Every structure is written in structure tokens, then in C-alpha cells.
Amino acid sequence: MNTELSEEAVEYGRTALRAFEAAGGDQIVQDAEREPARRADLVEPVLAELGAWDLDPRGGADELEAVAALCRVAGWWALPYPVAERLARPADGSTDGLVVIAGTGPGGAAGAAGAGDARDAGDAGDAGLVGYGPAAPVAGLGRRWSTVTFDGGRGVATAAPPTTTPRYGAFVTGLVDDPALVPSQASRDGDGLADLALGLVLPCWTLLGMLDRAIDLTRAHVLAREQFGQPLARFQGVQFQLTDAEVERLGVEELAKYALWAVATGRGEAVDDALALRLAILEAADQVFRVAHQLHGAMGFCDETTLSWISRYSQPVRRLPLGLSATRDELTRRIGRAGLAGPFAPRREPNLEVQPL
């Protein structure tokens, strides 16, 4: 059993990491926050240089793995740009990207958490982290976004102008359903559930990159910072906290690879696998960022530390389209009595008869 990404994907990730480092590294998100209008210009040329726009995440395992590796790099640098959403755009280029939104039905209006009330486009900027209703970190980029809901319903939405600064909204803005644009989606390849799985998994790879970075930054900090005449890393209380956080990170890395494989092979359970990943990585993010902030001390709140930026810009992917509790509810509802696929799931793999208890 191969539990690794392909060497090509890993190498592509290394190349991307260096390319964004050369383009400013941690400075990119800081510049974008100061001058939101430059957001695309700071990131898109590097993506073009990396050939990212030629990658098709629906084009097979190799391309999907390369996209995942790139999303992970985007997380490492907290790139102020929805790399995962943009690269998951429909193959026909009819919209600027794909976002998963809460609720059911095109546009996600019905049943979306907190989105039950009708609202007009004027309210829509107050969404997500800064309001309610379908939202994504796509402020100031393209206007038209493909959407997919948790029942696989597709739609097209328009990104509202943001109503707050990125410092507080992390580039999140509301999405307004645009029924007039839906018919153009009929020709799209694949089905809505495949889009849903893809749209859930790729942002998790971005968050994984953020967890990689948070652990790395914290490791460096506790090795360098001295108290009571020795590095913090010498204290077992510090060691154990960091170790537990790393166990979380390693665990979700494996789930991320598994979910990616599920998407690449078009497994029927790919949405379950994606939700399982999302649940685990949201739990992991909770612990990793809590430990990272605790071990950084007051320094971790300060913008002179990279942790402060990574922590703030992790918020959209951790809360949208569903936060931890809502993700768990969705997974529980979806798997019902059948559980998750695996060697001990009787229904999913009938050739492997499990002896009843």
C-alpha cells in the first residue's frame, strides 16, 4: 500500500515553496492586508510561473496530488488568495472557482446555518466571519463563483463587495445566488457530489500547510526562547504539549492523503472521507493553534511573529463552509448507521464478511 504522495507532487510542492519564498514569503499576506487591491497581483504571477493554471484536479491522481501540494504551500505562507477554490474551478472556465457553501439547494439558501432569511445583495458582504450566510474568502477577486452545497446542488454565485477590511474579515465576503447563471452549468463535467468532495478536500490541504507552519514556528520558538536559564524546549510540560499537537498534525496528514485518494479514484464514499478529514483537521487546528499560541506566549499575538498571521488567516477555512460542530453533525447525518468505509464496515465491502458480534 502506498501511503505517500508521488515524488513528482512532493517536488512540485518544494518548488512552489521556494517560488513563494522568493516572491516575498511571509511578507505577501502582510502586503495584501495593507493593500487589498494588490492581492491578486501578489500571488497570481507566481501561480502562473508554477504552471498552476494548467493543473486540472479532475484530470487524474498525478494532477490532483500536485494541486494538493500547492494548496499545502499556500497554507504554509498563509497566502492571501483562495488557491484551493481557484484551482477547483470548472474545466470549462465558466466561473472563477468553486466554493462549497452550507445549506441545500443551489445557492445554499435553504437550510444554511443562519441563512434562513432572505437578504439582498446589499447585505451580502456581511457574511461568513463578519456576518451570516454563504461566504468564502474571495473578496476582491473574480465576480462569478461556482457553488456546490452539501447535497451536491450546484449553482453560480456572485461575490459581494466586502464590508470590512481584511484585517478583520480575512478576505471573506458573502456570495449571492445568481439563478440567471445556473443554466450555463448544465454542460459541466462530473457530478455535484464529486465537486463537493473536491471542494472540501483541497482547502483541508491548505489548512494542513498552516498546521505544518504553526508547528514549525513553535518548535523554533521553544528552542530559541530561554526562561530560567534554559530553552523552553527543555521543559517536559512544553515538550508534551508540542508532541501532542504534532500527533494531531501527523494524523490529519494521513487522512488528507486518504481523502485525496478517495477523490482521485472517484469512490462513492469520497464525500464521507472528505468530511471525516475536515472533522479531524478542524479538531487538530483547534489544538495546534492553541498550543502554538500558548508556547509563543504574548509574542504570538504580535504581528511581528508569523504565527499571528497564520492564526488569523486560518479562520476562513476553519469556519467555512461549516465549523467543527456543524461538520460533525453533517458527517453523522450522512453516514447514518453505515459508518465509514473500511475493513470492518460490513455494508460497504460485502466481500469481506465481518462476523457479527
Residue 265 binds other proteins (CB under 8 A): no
Kindly tell me which residue out of 225, 258, 267, 319 binds other proteins, with binding defined by CB under 8 A: 258
Cell of 125: 458582504
Residue 329 binds other proteins (CB under 8 A): yes
Confirm if 103 and 152 have CB atoms less than 8 A apart.
Answer: no
| C-alpha angle 351-64-1 in degrees, rounded to nearest 5 | 40
Residue 346 binds other proteins (CB under 8 A): yes
Among residue numbers 121 through 160, which ones bind other proteins (CB under 8 A)? Answer: none
Among residue numbers 279 through 298, which ones bind other proteins (CB under 8 A)? Answer: 279-280
Question: Rounded distance, CA 315 to CA 324, Å?
Answer: 12
Kindly tell me which residue out of 1, 180, 186, 298 binds other proteins, with binding defined by CB under 8 A: 1
Label the pairing between strands 154-159 and 173-177.
antiparallel
Rounded to a whole number of angstroms, the minimum distance from the CB of residue 341 to other proteins is: 9
Kindly tell me which residue out of 69, 98, 160, 242 binds other proteins, with binding defined by CB under 8 A: 242
Rounded to a whole number of angstroms, the minimum distance from the CB of residue 258 to other proteins is: 6
Kindly tell me which residue out of 54, 122, 168, 332 binds other proteins, with binding defined by CB under 8 A: 332
Our CB check for other proteins shows the closer of 178 and 212 to be 212
Closest by CA to 120, choosing from 136, 109, 106, is 109
What crossing angle do the helices spanning 270-296 and 236-264 adopt, rounded to 10°? 160
Question: Rounded distance, CA 154 to CA 140, Å?
Answer: 22
Question: Rounded distance, CA 238 to CA 234, Å?
Answer: 8
Residues at the interface with other proteins (CB under 8 A):
1-4, 219, 222-223, 233, 236, 239-240, 242-244, 246-247, 250-252, 254-255, 257-258, 276, 279-280, 328-329, 331-332, 335, 337-340, 342-346, 351-357
